[in-house]
C-alpha cells in the first residue's frame, strides 16, 4: 500500500458558561427534567423575538483572545435553514459571513494549528428513540438544550495525525477551562467534535475528498475514529475505489465509522442575515475587560513550574486544571516545591479520588500542605507518617504540627535508643557491616525501627542515634 498523507480539520462546539440560553431567559441547567427549560422563544412560537445574552458575547470575545483570533468590531447573526424535529424554528441562529472572531491559532508542543473562525450559535434540542430500553413508536423531542449558547471553533486542516488531533483537543479544552469560557465536558454535551478527514498521495496533489465523522464521546474516541477513517480511506483508494463526500458516524462499540448520509449535492442552508437581531458591536473596552479576566495560561505556568525544578510528569499533572495549579502555587509559596508537588499528586489527588471531590471542594489549607512538605523534605517525618496523617489533615483541615503532637510520634531519644539496640541485635550482620564503614547497611536497621514504630519515628533521629552508638563502640574498642 503506497503511502498517504492525511489531512484533518476539526469543528469543535463548546457550550459557553452562561446561566441562561443564547436568545431567551431559560436555564441552561444540565440534566433538568425533559422540556422544563423551554419558553415561547426557544420553541419557535409565532411572534416572539430573540434577545442576545450579554455574557455569551463576552465569553466569545474572551475565547477569541485565548485562541489568538482577531475580534471583529462588527458581526452579525444569520439564519441557517433546515428541517429537523430538534429544531422547532426550522432555522438555527448562527453566524455566517461575519463571525465574531477569526484567524487565530492554538500552539501545541511541536506546531501551531490555525483557527479559521470561532462563531456564536444556538444548540438544537435532543431526540430520543427509546425510553430506558423500550423503543418508542416515533421519536421524542426534548427542547431543554434548544437555544443553549455554543461557540463553534473551526480549525484549518493543519492536523496531520490522530495524535495531533488529540493533543489539539486537550490543549483547546485546557485553554477554555482556564479562562472559564466552557466546562468542555463531553459527557455533559458541553463539548462536541466533528472531524473532516481526507487523504492524498503527495503534498503536490490537491486535497482528497473528505468525509465528516461525528458521534465520538471522548477525545480517545476522536483519536480512534480518525485513525480508523484514515486507514479505511487508504484501503478504498489503494483498491482503486472512490471516496464519497459523506457524513459517517463513529460506532464506539464496534470501533468503526459507518456511512450515514451521502451528500449528493451540497447542503443548501440558504443562509441570510437574521432580521430579528441587531449586529454585535465590540469595542476596545469590552476586549480589555475580557483580557483582564484571562488568568496566566498553561504554557506560561508550565515554564514557571519547570523553573521550580518539577519533573515533566509533575508539571503535566499540575497544569491540567487551573484550580489545582493555583492550589500548588499557594502551597509552594514558602515551601519545597518538589515535595509539595509530590504531596499534591500522590496524597491530595488520592484523597480527592477516594472521596470523589473536585479541587474546588477541598477544604485543606494549601499552607498546611506546604508545612507538611517541609517537614518531609527536612527528614523530620517519614513517608509513612505522611501517609498516616494526610487523610486526617485532608478531612479536618488541621495543620500537620498539631496532628504530629496527637500522634504519639516516638521522638523520645531514650525510648528510641532502646529500639535501636533491639534493631541492632535483630540485624547483627548489618550492624557489623555498618561498623566496618558500610554506610548503606544502616538502612536495614533504620528500616527495622521504622517498621517497629509503624513509621511514627523520625528516620533522621534514628540515624543520629545509630551514628552515636557506632562512635561509642569505636571508642570502646
Ramachandran class of 253: left when φ > 0, alpha when ψ lies in -120 to 50, beta otherwise: alpha
- Report the nearest approach of another protein to the CB of residue 14 (Å): 17
- Report the nearest approach of another protein to the CB of residue 73 (Å): 9
The CA–CA distances, whole Å, from 318 to 342, 343, 390 equal: 10, 12, 19
Residue 377 in the binding site for another protein (CB under 8 A): no
- Report the nearest approach of another protein to the CB of residue 108 (Å): 32
Give the one residue of 241, 255, 279, 309 binding another protein; rule: CB under 8 A: 279
State the binding partner of 270 from Zn ion, another protein, none, CB within 5 to 8 A by kind. Answer: another protein
Q: DSSP states of 4-37 as a string?
A: -EEEEEEEEEEE---SB-SSS--B--TTPPTT-S
Give the one residue of 112, 235, 263, 270 binding another protein; rule: CB under 8 A: 270
Residue 36 in the binding site for another protein (CB under 8 A): yes
Q: At what angle do helices 162-178 and 219-238 cross, to 10 degrees?
A: 150
State the binding partner of 20 from Zn ion, another protein, none, CB within 5 to 8 A by kind. Answer: another protein
Q: DSSP states of 277-333 as a string?
A: SPPEE--HHHHHHHHHT----HHHHHHHHHHTT--HHHHHHHHHSHHHHHHHHHHTS
- Report the nearest approach of Zn ion to the CB of residue 146 (Å): 8
CA dist 231 and 253 (Å) reads 18
- Report the nearest approach of another protein to the CB of residue 281 (Å): 5
For 162-173, the three-class secondary structure string (H helix, E strand, C coil) is: HHHHHHHHHHHH
- Report the nearest approach of Zn ion to the CB of residue 121 (Å): 16
Q: Which three cell numbers stand for residue 448?
A: 527495622
Spacing of C-alpha 161 from chain mean position? 21
Residue 313 in the binding site for another protein (CB under 8 A): no
Q: Which stretch binds another protein (CB under 8 A): 275-283, 335-343, 350-358, 440-448?
A: 275-283
Taking the alpha carbons at both ends of the chain, their separation in whole angstroms is 80
Ramachandran class of 288: left when φ > 0, alpha when ψ lies in -120 to 50, beta otherwise: alpha
Phi/psi of residue 30, nearest 5 degrees: -80, 140
Interface residues for Zn ion in 39-58 (CB under 5 A)? 39, 41-42
CA dist 164 and 170 (Å) reads 10
* Of residues 285 and 405, the one with the C-beta less far from another protein: 285
State the binding partner of 399 from Zn ion, another protein, none, CB within 5 to 8 A by kind. Answer: none
Residue 349 in the binding site for Zn ion (CB under 5 A): no
Give the one residue of 31, 138, 240, 414 binding another protein; rule: CB under 8 A: 138
Residue 85 in the binding site for another protein (CB under 8 A): yes
Residue 57 in the binding site for another protein (CB under 8 A): yes
* Of residues 142 and 167, the one with the C-beta less far from another protein: 142
- Report the nearest approach of another protein to the CB of residue 291 (Å): 18
* Of residues 51 and 293, the one with the C-beta less far from Zn ion: 51
- Report the nearest approach of another protein to the CB of residue 210 (Å): 20
- Report the nearest approach of another protein to the CB of residue 30 (Å): 14
Q: Is 416 in contact with 465 (CB distance < 8 Å)?
A: yes
Helix/strand/coil for 92: strand
Task: Decide the pairing of beta strands 246-251 and 211-214.
Answer: parallel
The continuous run of DSSP H or E covering 312 comes out as helix 312-320
* Of residues 16 and 179, the one with the C-beta less far from Zn ion: 16
CA dist 70 and 29 (Å) reads 31
Contacts with another protein by CB under 8 A lie at: 18-20, 25-27, 33-36, 38-40, 43, 45, 51-57, 74, 81, 83-85, 127-129, 136-143, 260-261, 268, 270, 273, 278-281
Contacts with Zn ion by CB under 5 A lie at: 24, 26, 39, 41-42
Amino acid at each position: 500500500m503506497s503511502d498517504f498523507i492525511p489531512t484533518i480539520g476539526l469543528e469543535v462546539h463548546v457550550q459557553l458558561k452562561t446561566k441562561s440560553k443564547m436568545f431567551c431567559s431559560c436555564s441552561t441547567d444540565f440534566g433538568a427534567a425533559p422540556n422544563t427549560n423551554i419558553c415561547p422563544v426557544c420553541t419557535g412560537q409565532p411572534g416572539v423575538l430573540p434577545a442576545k445574552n450579554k455574557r455569551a458575547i463576552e465569553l466569545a470575545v474572551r475565547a477569541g483572545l485565548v485562541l489568538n483570533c482577531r475580534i471583529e468590531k462588527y458581526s452579525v447573526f444569520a439564519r441557517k435553514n433546515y428541517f429537523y424535529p430538534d429544531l422547532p424554528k426550522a432555522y438555527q441562529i448562527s453566524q455566517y459571513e461575519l463571525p465574531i472572531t477569526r484567524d487565530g491559532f492554538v500552539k501545541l508542543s511541536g506546531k501551531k494549528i490555525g483557527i479559521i473562525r470561532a462563531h456564536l450559535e444556538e444548540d438544537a434540542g435532543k431526540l430520543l428513540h427509546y425510553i430506558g430500553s423500550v423503543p418508542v413508536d416515533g421519536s421524542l423531542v426534548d427542547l431543554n438544550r434548544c437555544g443553549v449558547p455554543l461557540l463553534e471553533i473551526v480549525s484549518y486542516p493543519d492536523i496531520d495525525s490522530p495524535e495531533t488531533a488529540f493533543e489539539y483537543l486537550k490543549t483547546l479544552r485546557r485553554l477554555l477551562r482556564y479562562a472559564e469560557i466552557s466546562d468542555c465536558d463531553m459527557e455533559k454535551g458541553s463539548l462536541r467534535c466533528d472531524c473532516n478527514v481526507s487523504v492524498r498521495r503527495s503534498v503536490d496533489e490537491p486535497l482528497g475528498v473528505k468525509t465528516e465523522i461525528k458521534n465520538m464521546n471522548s477525545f480517545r474516541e476522536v483519536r480512534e475514529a480518525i485513525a480508523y477513517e484514515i486507514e479505511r480511506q487508504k484501503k478504498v483508494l489503494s483498491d482503486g475505489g472512490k471516496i464519497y463526500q459523506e457524513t459517517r458516524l463513529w460506532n464506539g462499540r464496534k470501533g468503526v465509522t459507518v456511512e450515514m448520509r451521502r451528500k449528493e449535492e451540497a447542503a443548501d442552508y440558504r443562509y441570510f442575515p437574521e432580521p430579528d437581531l441587531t449586529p454585535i458591536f465590540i469595542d476596545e473596552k469590552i476586549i480589555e475587560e475580557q483580557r483582564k479576566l484571562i488568568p496566566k495560561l498553561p504554557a506560561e505556568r508550565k515554564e514557571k513550574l519547570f523553573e521550580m525544578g518539577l519533573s515533566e510528569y509533575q508539571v503535566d499533572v499540575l497544569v491540567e486544571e487551573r484550580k489545582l495549579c493555583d492550589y500548588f502555587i499557594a502551597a509552594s509559596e514558602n515551601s519545597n516545591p518538589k515535595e509539595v508537588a509530590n504531596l499534591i499528586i500522590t496524597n491530595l489527588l488520592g484523597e480527592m479520588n477516594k472521596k470523589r471531590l473536585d479541587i474546588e471542594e477541598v477544604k485543606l489549607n494549601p499552607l498546611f500542605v506546604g508545612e507538611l512538605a517541609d517537614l518531609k523534605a527536612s527528614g523530620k517525618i517519614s513517608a509513612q507518617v505522611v501517609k498516616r496523617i494526610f487523610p486526617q489533615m485532608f478531612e479536618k483541615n488541621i495543620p500537620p504540627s498539631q496532628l504530629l503532637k496527637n500522634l504519639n510520634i516516638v521522638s523520645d531519644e531514650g525510648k528510641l535508643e532502646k529500639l535501636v539496640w533491639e534493631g541492632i541485635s535483630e540485624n547483627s550482620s548489618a550492624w557489623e557491616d555498618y561498623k566496618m564503614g558500610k554506610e548503606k547497611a544502616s538502612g536495614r536497621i533504620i528500616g527495622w525501627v521504622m517498621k517497629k514504630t509503624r513509621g511514627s519515628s523520625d528516620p533522621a533521629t534514628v540515624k543520629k542515634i545509630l551514628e552515636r552508638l557506632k562512635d561509642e563502640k569505636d571508642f570502646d574498642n
